[in-house]
Homo-oligomer: A and B are copies of this chain.
Amino acid sequence: MTNPPATSPDRRPGGRTARIRAQVLDAVRAELAEGGPSALTMEGVAKRAGVHRATVYRRWRDVGGLLVDLIDAAGELDWQPPDTGSLCGDLTALNQEIQESLVVRPSFAVALMAASFHFDRAARAQTRLWTDRYAQCEILVERAVERGELPARHTDARALLIAATAPVYHQVVLLRAEFDPHLPRRAAEMAVLAAEAGAFTARRPEGV
């Protein structure tokens, strides 16, 4: 099975344990920066961290575990959605953040995507990460409604957010297009126009 969850009555998170965790996570970042997602290997991390392989295997199990822990450690919890004063500005800023996170090296987001195809835990961490992000961003839409930028009718915030951000992923990850500094704004504007046209408001409950 996995590692002993919280079953063991007493554990030792401090001192050496914490130091080794820091060394290993630093090594993960370094390996990722040097060779990209495909260069992230258990042995490489252990060697760079100056830690025995067995230790890495025991605590993190596989590459997916390393990435999950790295993301936890990065403390994405205190992340806040942008607040620029307009829906289009917020979505543009959000898209810029996303584009940056996909293009920067090392890119945790890309590494996590790569790992998600091989390790279940990485896949679950990925869906959780993005689901949380979209949930946090729903406030952007609420604020836009309050400002009168969108009709007061109920708007599917999540669908709007996905429509605005998905093209960025699509271009960078799937199509591997060259970096386009205007893409975040264009995608945001597109989503806003669609929203203003009622694309994300509930339809009459006739068809479906």
- A189 contact set on B, CB distance < 8 A: 199
Complex interface bits, A98-130 against B, C-beta within 8 A gives 1, otherwise 0:
000000000000100110011000010011001
- State the Cβ distance, A166 to closest chain B Cβ, in Å: 4
Interface stretch (choices A47-55, A136-144, A171-179): A171-179
A22 at the interface (CB under 8 A from B): no
Are B194 and A190 interface neighbours, CB within 8 A?
Answer: yes
Are A118 and B127 interface neighbours, CB within 8 A?
Answer: no
Bound-state CA distance A37–B123 (Å) is: 13
Complex interface bits, A47-88 against B, C-beta within 8 A gives 1, otherwise 0:
000000000000000000000000000000000000000000
Are A197 and B196 interface neighbours, CB within 8 A?
Answer: yes
* Given A127-B175, A169-B174, A174-B169: A190 touches B208 (CB 8 Å cut-off): no
- A110 contact set on B, CB distance < 8 A: 117
- A118 contact set on B, CB distance < 8 A: 37-38, 114
Are B159 and A186 interface neighbours, CB within 8 A?
Answer: yes
Are A167 and B162 interface neighbours, CB within 8 A?
Answer: yes
Of residues 139 through 184 on chain A, the ones whose CB sits less than 8 Å from some CB of chain B are 159, 162-163, 165-167, 169-171, 174-176, 182
Given contacts A38-B117, A193-B194, 4 further A-B pairs with CB under 8 A are: A123-B176, A162-B170, A163-B187, A182-B208
Residue numbers of A with Cβ under 8 A of B are 37-38, 110, 113-114, 117-118, 123, 126-127, 130-131, 159, 162-163, 165-167, 169-171, 174-176, 182, 186-187, 189-191, 193-194, 196-200, 208
5 A-B pairs within 8 Å (CB atoms) are namely A127-B175, A162-B167, A163-B190, A166-B166, A166-B167
